[in-house]
Each structure stands twice: as C-alpha cells, then as structure tokens.
Amino acid sequence: MKYNLSSKEELRAKLQALPAQTAQTLSTPKFWYELILMTVAMFISAMAVHFFLKPSGLIVGSVTGLGIVLSKIMPFFSLGTHMVIINTILLILSFLLIGNEFGAKTCYTALILGPFVDLMGVLFPIDGSLFAQEVHGVMVANPWFDLLCFILVLSAAQAILFSINASTGGLDILAKIINKYLRVPLGVAVTTAGGLICCTAFLTSPVGFVIMGLVGTWLNGLILDYFMTQMSSRTRVYIISDEWEYIRDYIINDLNRGVTIHQVMGGYSREEHQQIECILTREEFGKLLDHLRAKKLNPFITSDPVSEVYGMWRKKVRRDRVKLEPGNPNERTF
C-alpha cells in the first residue's frame, strides 16, 4: 500500500485551514449529536466493565487481556505501560488505515473510558460479583453470568459506536481494519481479533479461563452482528389498493419517502392494479398502518425485512410538498 506524503506547502495550508474547519465542525448539530451518543455509549461500556468484567476476573479478547498477558511475559513493564503502547499503535493504525474521522472519535472514546470506570467505582462501589451466592457460609461466584451480561451490554455500546463510524478503541480498531480491508461483517471481525488475543492467554492463564474468554469473544461477535442488523434493518412494503394515489401522496409528502409504482395483474380476476413499493423504517411503517386504519382504508399490504439500504434512501431531505396528479404510471419511481 502506497502513501503520498504531503509537501511543506500542503501541510502549511492544511494547518492554516484547521481552525476554520474546526469551528465549522463544532457549529454543526451532527457533531454534538454524535458527541452525546459517543459519551452515552462509553458510559454503557464503563458500566459493563465495572459491574461484570472487573469482579469476574475474566480475560476476554481485548487490549486489557493482551496487556495482562504481556505484563506477565515482560514484567519489567507495568500493565498500564503495555496498554498505552498497544493503544498508541492501534490509534496510529486507525488514522492511517481507516481515516481521520474514525481515529479522532476513537481517541475521544478511549480517553473517557478510564475516567468513567473510576466514576462507576465511586458512585456504585462493589466488592464482588453481583451474581455471587452464599452456599454453606461461602460466597460462590458464577463467572458465566458475569461474562454473558458483560458481552450483552458491551455489544450494545459497540453497535452504537460503529453505527456513527466510531469505536471503543483497542480491539475494535483491529476489528474495523479487518472489516474494511477483508470485507467481513463486524461481528466476524470482532470474533477473529478477539480470538487471536485470547489465544495468547494460553501462555499465562488457566485453560478454563481462556476457554471462557474465547466463548465470550464468540458471543460478542454474534450479539454485535444482531444489534448492527437491528439498527440498520428497514422494511420493504408492497401495497395494492384502489386508493393508491392517496396512499402515494401520504408516503411522499408526510413520511417524506420515495415510492415505486408497479402495474400488476391479479392472477385470478385478471384485473389490473397499481402496486406501491417503498422502503420504510419500522416507525414509519407503524405510522402508515395507523394512518390507513384512521382513514378506514383496507389495502392489501405485504412487507419483508431489508437488512441494508444504500443510495439516496439515506439522504432524507425534506422536499417541497408536491401535487401528485392521478394517472397510470408504469414502473415509474417518484
């Protein structure tokens, strides 16, 4: 892979334009929305670490787990030093291989995770696992419950961050690189990267704990894929109705979505009808159904899930209200 180095003049021009670009970015609602979203996601991640991972003592596929292994192999460096070195290398790779936006967001999330974990310790101090039970006067923990809850909560936070081109740092950077260049799903990338890190723990940890870490990493990939699919899934809706013009008008002007009109023929009656096809979110589909019930319309509707949508659908720009003339369009898209 080749990189073209900028000249001194280009670097100077970029530095001079940086204040204006920064001011423009800070003035956009998108920046503040994503900043709040990243902060909330990292707070959720800190809860997962504080309440489930830290009390269990498990080593899952993460930078922390790799740091623990390296600190045992090379004890002349502390755990914190190993983690700083690993995270620094991964952050540099994120800027070079993924992009400035992803790298900058990951720097922010990596910086606030530690303080949030410390804040959790101050606000909600705990001595051991939440799932520990007293058996004959002895507290017995169940690390499997800790592992499962940690993976569920962390996967939700990861899905939120990946959806806005950010990450929790560490392992997620490696997973994002694998996802971008090998074209594999993020869940598979997380599982692959985490599995490789977990396997290093065979050098220093009991086999049982390493196997639990591998299982947890595998579950993390599955649950992350589920959350990502749910967040990006849409609904394809087909509608056949004599009032198709009114329904078309509602979808375009009120839901602000495009429609495609197909001319279809009934197989039994051999009557011609107009069929509306559109892609909606689940919330918009619910609004459409409620509106049709309120107007006492009785169209024939079918729907199916769509895992991904690309193209103009994502650019939902409010259009001027248009007057739709009745007619018999044939395979026309509005």
Q: Model confidence over 229-274: pLDDT tens digits? A: 777 788 999 999 999 999 999 999 999 998 999 999 988 888 899 9
Q: Across the strands, what pairs with 333?
A: 260
3-state secondary structure of 239: strand
292 or 85, which is more confident: 292
Q: Model confidence over 171-222: pLDDT tens digits? A: 778 888 888 888 877 778 877 877 777 777 777 667 777 787 788 878 877 8
275 confidence band (pLDDT: 50, 70, 90): very high
329 confidence band (pLDDT: 50, 70, 90): very low
Question: What is the arithmetic mean of pLDDT over 283-301?
Answer: 91
Dist. CA 280–CA 306, nearest whole Å: 10
Predicted pLDDT of residue 195 = 78
67 confidence band (pLDDT: 50, 70, 90): low
Q: Across the strands, what pairs with 275?
A: 240, 262
Dist. CA 48–CA 218, nearest whole Å: 17
Rank 43-57, 255-269, 314-328 by mean pLDDT and report only the highest: 255-269
Please tell me the chain's helix, strand, coil percentages from 3-state DSSP, rounded to the nearest 5.
60, 10, 30
- Alpha carbons within 13 angstroms on the beta-carbon side of residue 8 total 0
8 or 30, which is more confident: 30
Predicted pLDDT of residue 10 = 66
Length of the chain: 334
Dist. CA 105–CA 91, nearest whole Å: 10
237 or 27, which is more confident: 237
Task: Say which range, 39-43, 129-133, 187-191, 270-274, has the weakest mean pLDDT.
Answer: 129-133
3-state secondary structure of 111: helix
pLDDT at 323 over 90: no
- Measuring CA to CA, which residue among 81, 108, 106 is closest to residue 175? 106
Dist. CA 18–CA 32, nearest whole Å: 19
Predicted pLDDT of residue 175 = 80
